[in-house]
Amino acid sequence: MNMSVKIAGVEFKNPVMEGSGTFGSGMEYGEFVDLNKLGAVVTKGVANVPWPGNPTPRVCEVYGGMLNAIGLQNPGIDTFIKRDLEFLKNYDTRVIVNVCGKTVGDYLEVVERLADEAVDMLEINVSCPNVKEGAIAFGQKADALYDITEQIKKKAKQPVIMKLSPNVTDITEMARAGEAAGADALSLINTITAMKIDIHKRTFALANKTGGLSGPAIKPVAVRMVYQVSQAVKIPIIGMGGIACADDALEFIMAGATAVAVGAMNFHDPYTTIKVIDGIRDYMDKYKIDDINDLTGCVR
């Protein structure tokens, strides 16, 4: 039975990783999860300088999921390299670093710093507000997405994954822009912009007013978008958004994803990634499927 997959020439022992921002860099989950069993560890977003994040409260529960407005709090690239990447060298798993920034220059600075580090792939978070475009996210305008992808590809030593935002009119337009600019793969979806109001305090549940919705509630939307993008581009897709079990992961794979990422469910059950890996293996055994790749995009 083969559970390994390839994305842009990088081989993963299985198609399961965790979503950026839900797992730190693995240190916090080490006592629950054997990181060696994961297809990859995807780090929390890192910027060229430390970001303090948004004021609190910045997390709240909603039906079927959660809202977060963390604000991409991170220690900056210097501390990240010394602490997080050194930690991950102890494990036999692929390392994907999620990169964030406020300007194209911010992204490029991080990409260049990571060029000679033990990093297998870069995931570019284009849901960050572009301060030079009136704070419209890089991933909400096809021309901006094309531009940042093209510039990052010129500097990057590792394959580049562009992480797409669902907060657009047509996600396939964004996917095509990323592919045309040279992206090696796409990951989707990021969180859906949402809001909750505390009716007793008559105020917003989050200090930021809005936050990103994640969790099982968004899975049907995410599966639909993965399917649409898989029909629009030829580069590999990492599917995510509401995965809670192996059945969910298999939906994404059958819709066209080569690999999947578990996000918000890590907070609910830190063993979810391992359960998903085991569940996919059980499914393959039950239906006598020899190669996980035979399931990718099998539903048309």
298 classed as catalytic:
no
Contacts for 213 with CB less than 8 Å, ≥ 6 apart: 62, 65, 66, 67, 191, 192, 193, 194
Q: How far apart are CA 147 and CA 188, in angstroms?
A: 19
* E runs forming strands in 181-277: 185-188, 192-195, 197-198, 203-204, 210-214, 237-240, 259-262
Q: What is the DSSP letter of 74?
A: B
Q: Are strands 237-240 and 185-188 parallel, antiparallel or unpaired?
A: parallel
Q: Which tokens sit at 143?
A: 């021309």
- DSSP H stretches of helix in 181-260: 219-232, 246-255
Mapping DSSP to helix (H, G, I), strand (E, B) and coil, where does residue 278 land?
helix
3-state secondary structure of 248: helix
Task: Give me the amino acid identity at 191.
Answer: T
Q: What are phi and psi of 170, to 5 degrees?
A: -140, 105
Cα–Cα nearest to 226, from 249, 244, 245, 247: 249
| N-term to C-term CA, the chain | 24
Give the active site residue among 100, 128, 245, 298.
128
Structure-token match 């501390």, residue found = 79
Enumerate the active-site residues: 128
